[in-house]
Structure 1
């Protein structure tokens, strides 16, 4: 009884303390929702910032990420209404008085190596190929491993198809690379790779496969007076070494994989596309399937490519050992010049490839579509 009385006294004191605290005044932020998707597919993005003097939003729903200015009402809520948007998944960020920040009312985010972005969904039948729908689902694991090449623990995401855990089948492997600024979570979060593969498999449009999404962002050795071309070359070498010496051996030791060239594929977007080109032309014996999305040899790397990859480019058996060499890019992509120069190099050496231009620019809206088109070509 003494314990009960003591507890009651503690609760009474606590209640009195709370009752004496100043009561918080409600604000419009308490009921604010953002983003709100209207029936006509426009999005309303809002933030409560009564003391701010300027708020803008930028995202891949705008061509070239052109910022939109928000307008403040008399309650301190800033808002903007976008144009009608094609159903898809979009990223955006707010900038309040010059400081980049998140939409605090939207908990859905995309993570990068040094930044975060909000994600909003414009629903519609066009997104069925990438949606989480009622089909058998595979699993996506976060896999940590010791990178001997880099001397640190590293992480990759690995997709295994439905039924993997209960079976004994060995599977082909697809190495899927992200772009600059992202990490190994990109293809699974905003890229929706797991759902895209699930839906393709459920529709019998693709072969069951393991998809490995490594972290292609390498530590940079920046010192005073560093030559950026040398830094980039070092990062390219680091990625190739880690892929070949750490990532691939870890995958082939841990998972039930088919380990010959005929059962390996690689593809990447932007920086990952450049890494794909580098690995493919440096080690043509590894992959029979190659995909390059919104990419090419950037900057001075195009000038050295003819020499650096001479052995592969001049090898008459190169084409025979590449069942698919797929290149795809948006017509408004800012890396189109690098893409065209890369194609010219391949044409010069009579390297065979399939090429496609789509609408749009350098965005995940395109890259998810490219994965949806590329994956069914693999291991057929």
Structure 2
């Protein structure tokens, strides 16, 4: 009797099944596909990038990313093997994010393991190498450490996380350092500035070249949990989220940092800056508590929508204080010429001008992207604690 399998009872008494050779020979073998050798993205010599995905049953594939201007998705073309591809560029050397959409479903490139994480989405990251990215690359210089720090937040009633950069030599020394609170934008979390923002590498390279002073950089999670306090219309929701973040920063993050790390705890040694939503939060904290920070940076931001109407009343004390300017060694505002928040930015500057608040302003090329924000950090950090 030829059984399809053999029963073997080992000495330990456990029963195992061993397939006989005839049965194994009859098992269907997996057929190779183009996906086995597919590479994506591929950087070509002319700085163009080939993006590809194997999706033989799909009827439409598009790609969107911060390399597109205007931000309109590109369609991929399908070949006879079921591989969809598109060439983009040539692109300037930099780090870019992108996502694919397959038959209406947003997805990441399965051949690219480098991703940027958000609070509800993922994006792929691709690199076009070149001299222009040296300031943000992982160079052969002394490196600091970036830690994921968990702490209990009484304000929010939950565990929260922040990323903290300490400069090279921190662990072996006893020096106290100034602190820079660096805030991300909407849709991101505390990992944003460290991953796609490359803050750790930017600081490492600045310190190695002597262009910045050693500092601790704190990257908190500015995305607040949605609950009944943050509901309602847009203006009410923004106001509630703003208040939650201010409590989280002032009552939880700053005390935790000053208790845990060797910090210089005075306004002369504190800086704050943020992009987009983080810039809005920076404005709120700075004008509500002008005594906390001598260095302020607002990237691609302003008072959005109805918040500009309430700003003059909400921040009347700071706006009308003739000593406000004396308490700020730096009030830096920077934005791209094509940024969609330019109107909010202009209205915010008009409010500051009305009350004689002094600031430094710079417009760059580009829009509301990390391509600009990494550059802004590279420009802003060397100005701190001078």
Asked if these proteins are the same fold (TM beyond 0.5), I'd say: yes
How far apart are residue 22 of structure 1 and its match? 1.3
Task: Decide whether aligned partners of structure 1 residues 15 and 277 sit closer, same or farther in structure 2, where only a CA change above 3 A counts.
Answer: farther
Q: Distance in 2 between matches of 1:306 and 1:124?
A: 46
Aligned to 1:70: 76
Q: Distance in 1 between matches of 2:92 and 2:269?
A: 36
Equivalent residues in 2 for 1:88-99, closer than 5 Å: 88-99=94-105
How far apart are residue 13 of structure 1 and its match? 3.8
Aligned to 1:177: 183
- Of 340, 344, 350, which residue of structure 2 is paired with 1:338? 344
Task: Decide whether aligned partners of structure 1 residues 168 and 12 sit closer, same or farther in structure 2, where only a CA change above 3 A counts.
Answer: same
Q: 2:231–2:237: 8 Å Cα contact kept in structure 1?
A: no
Residue 113 (1) aligns with residue 119 (2)? yes
Q: 1:222–1:231: 8 Å Cα contact kept in structure 2?
A: no
Residue 364 (1) aligns with residue 347 (2)? no
SS in 2 for 1:65: coil
Aligned to 1:292: 298
Q: Distance in 2 between matches of 1:274 and 1:28?
A: 47
Q: Distance in 2 between matches of 1:117 and 1:184?
A: 16
How far apart are residue 67 of structure 1 and its match? 0.5
Q: 2:230–2:237: 8 Å Cα contact kept in structure 1?
A: no
Aligned to 2:4: none
Task: Decide whether aligned partners of structure 1 residues 338 and 17 sit closer, same or farther in structure 2, where only a CA change above 3 A counts.
Answer: farther
How far apart are residue 12 of structure 1 and its match? 5.9
How far apart are residue 64 of structure 1 and its match? 3.8
How far apart are residue 65 of structure 1 and its match? 2.4
**How many residues in Structure 1 have an aligned counterpart in Structure 2?**
378
Task: Decide whether aligned partners of structure 1 residues 311 and 224 sit closer, same or farther in structure 2, where only a CA change above 3 A counts.
Answer: closer
Aligned to 1:348: 354
Residue 104 (1) aligns with residue 117 (2)? no
Aligned to 1:282: 288
Structure number with greater Rg is 2
Task: Decide whether aligned partners of structure 1 residues 36 and 295 sit closer, same or farther in structure 2, where only a CA change above 3 A counts.
Answer: same
Unmatched runs of 5 consecutive residues or more in structure 2: 1-7
Residue 36 (1) aligns with residue 42 (2)? yes
Aligned to 1:379: 385
RMSD, matched Cα: 2.0
Cα shift readout 1:81-133 (whole Å, capped 9, x = no counterpart): 01200000000000000000110000000000000000000000000000001
SS in 2 for 1:63: coil
Equivalent residues in 2 for 1:1-380, closer than 5 Å: 13=19, 19-222=25-228, 226-380=232-386
SS in 1 for 2:273: strand
